[in-house]
């Protein structure tokens, strides 16, 4: 097995797929990339952690004797990063599994492993597919992933719920303290479906997928797996098994108190005030009266406190409510609107955060944040 490939093309492909690999694999073969050379001068490179498998296809400049070999990932990545943009020749002896690299004046040798040990990619049956654009997916993942949970006892909440309806599509994430529902009104599907996408592969996809509305992504799914396919990348991952909580039930519908405030001003104030608050509770008190919002935070242990006033538009009775400043900052960072609406009903009920104006009719975003008990 022999091929010549551009070092830049090779590195790009390796970086696209290396993010799914785990640092603590149960199978040693999962520390390798699987290289498969076809007769059509196409090289398929695959990485896996058993739950997720991702492949990148790259054209080679020359190919002889098609074959398959597993090559240690860390060593290959480390050496490829050091190469300038030069052709690299791979000479592979499949009988001894010796891999020889020739690049410029350098000659490097390492031992690969039997490709048969690499896990087989599952073949999906009875699938349904929907075509989405990459920019929309990058946006959807970016708006929801931060709100997923990390509780191992509730694995369903560690992923993003994907709901496909006939006239829209929802992406939902919650950790029981905060919730995000990102809706797209421009997705049409003949069949309704609901499944939970795992966090790790979505985070990786968000990082490597082009934020380009022209790039089409084919999402194919059945009851156990989902496949994302675009350009030269194919990712297949196992869905999280279980029933997602009824998130609609926790979204309050009667919210008589409405606050409109500049998003950036509120975010900047929160960042400053939170520095002086408790590092364990991250509590910031919101006191709203008239057209004024007062933020206060204190840390009794260190005798530190902070207070800031912000002008706002408010309709409703005076209210004092506590929020976790860390969660609130994450939400405000994710939104893009100039002004935001915060809808409230009582100091012990969840608050709803919405963009004040929706410039994109195709999308709709709702965020919910649970209050924290105010300490007197």
Q: Tell which residue, 94, 127, 368, 111, has the closest CA to residue 247.
A: 368
Residue 362's pLDDT is 85
pTM, full prediction: 0.91
Residue ranges per structural domain of the chain:
2-117, 128-248, 251-369
Q: Which two tokens stand for residue 190?
A: 């003949």
The CA distance from 340 to 355, in Å, is 5
Given this chain, do its domains 2-117 and 251-369 carry the same CATH topology?
A: yes
CA distance 127 to 129: 7
Q: How far apart are CA 342 and CA 236, in angstroms?
A: 38
How far is it, in rounded angstroms, from Cα 324 to Cα 286?
A: 11
Distance, in Å, from the CA atom of 353 to the CA atom of 180, rounded to the nearest integer, reads: 9
The sheet carrying 159-164 orders its strands as 193-198, 159-164, 169-174, 178-184, 363-369, 351-355, 339-344, 257-262, 313-315
For the domain spanning 128-248, the CATH number is 3.10.150.10
Q: Dihedrals φ, ψ of 297, to 5°?
A: -145, 150
CB 201 within 8 A of CB 235: yes
Evaluated on CA atoms 136, 141, 147, 152, the torsion sign reads positive
What class is the 251-369 domain? alpha beta
3-state secondary structure of 301: helix
Q: Give 10-residue mean pLDDT values along the chain (376 residues).
A: 95 94 88 93 93 94 93 96 96 95 95 94 88 94 95 90 92 96 88 93 94 93 94 95 93 93 97 93 94 94 93 94 96 94 94 86 92 79
**Cα-atom radius of gyration of the chain, to the nearest Å?**
25
Nearest to 353 by CA among 272, 270, 278, 279: 270
Task: Supply the pLDDT for residue 376.
Answer: 57
Class of domain 2-117 as given by CATH: alpha beta
CB atoms closer than 10 angstroms to residue 97: 16
């Amino acid at each position: 097995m022999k091929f010549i490939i551009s070092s830049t093309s090779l590195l790009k492909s390796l970086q696209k797929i290396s993010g799914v690999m785990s640092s603590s694999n149960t199978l040693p073969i999962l520390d390798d990339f699987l290289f498969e050379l076809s007769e059509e001068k196409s090289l398929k490179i695959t990485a896996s952690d058993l739950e997720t498998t991702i492949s990148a296809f790259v054209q080679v400049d020359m190919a002889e004797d098609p074959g398959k070999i597993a090559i240690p990932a860390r060593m290959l990545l480390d050496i490829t990063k050091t190469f300038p943009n030069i052709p690299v020749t791979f000479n592979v002896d499949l009988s001894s599994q010796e891999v020889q690299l020739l690049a410029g004046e350098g000659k490097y040798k390492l031992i690969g492993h039997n490709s048969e040990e690499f896990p087989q990619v599952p073949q999906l049956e009875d699938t349904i597919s929907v075509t989405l654009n990459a920019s929309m997916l990058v946006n959807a993942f970016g708006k929801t992933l931060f709100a997923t949970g990390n509780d191992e006892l509730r694995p369903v909440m560690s992923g993003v719920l994907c709901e496909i309806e006939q006239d829209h599509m929802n992406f939902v994430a919650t950790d029981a303290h905060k919730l995000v529902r990102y809706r797209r009104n421009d997705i049409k599907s003949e069949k309704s479906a609901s499944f939970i996408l795992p966090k790790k592969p979505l985070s990786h996809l968000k990082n490597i997928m082009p934020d380009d509305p022209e790039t089409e992504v084919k999402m194919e799914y059945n009851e156990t797996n989902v496949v994302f396919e675009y350009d030269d990348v194919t990712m297949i991952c196992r869905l999280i098994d279980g029933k997602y909580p009824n998130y609609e039930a926790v979204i309050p519908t009667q919210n008589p108190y409405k606050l409109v405030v500049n998003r950036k001003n509120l975010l900047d104030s929160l960042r400053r005030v939170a520095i002086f608050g408790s590092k364990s509770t991250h509590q910031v008190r919101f006191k709203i009266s008239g057209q004024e919002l007062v933020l206060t935070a204190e840390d009794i242990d260190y005798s530190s406190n902070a207070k800031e006033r912000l002008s706002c538009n408010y309709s409703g009775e005076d209210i004092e409510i506590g929020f976790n400043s860390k969660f609130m900052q994450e939400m405000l960072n994710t939104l893009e609107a100039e002004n935001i609406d915060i809808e409230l009903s009582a100091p012990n009920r969840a608050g709803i955060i919405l963009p004040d104006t929706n410039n994109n009719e195709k999308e709709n975003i709702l965020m919910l944040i649970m209050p924290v008990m105010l300490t007197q």
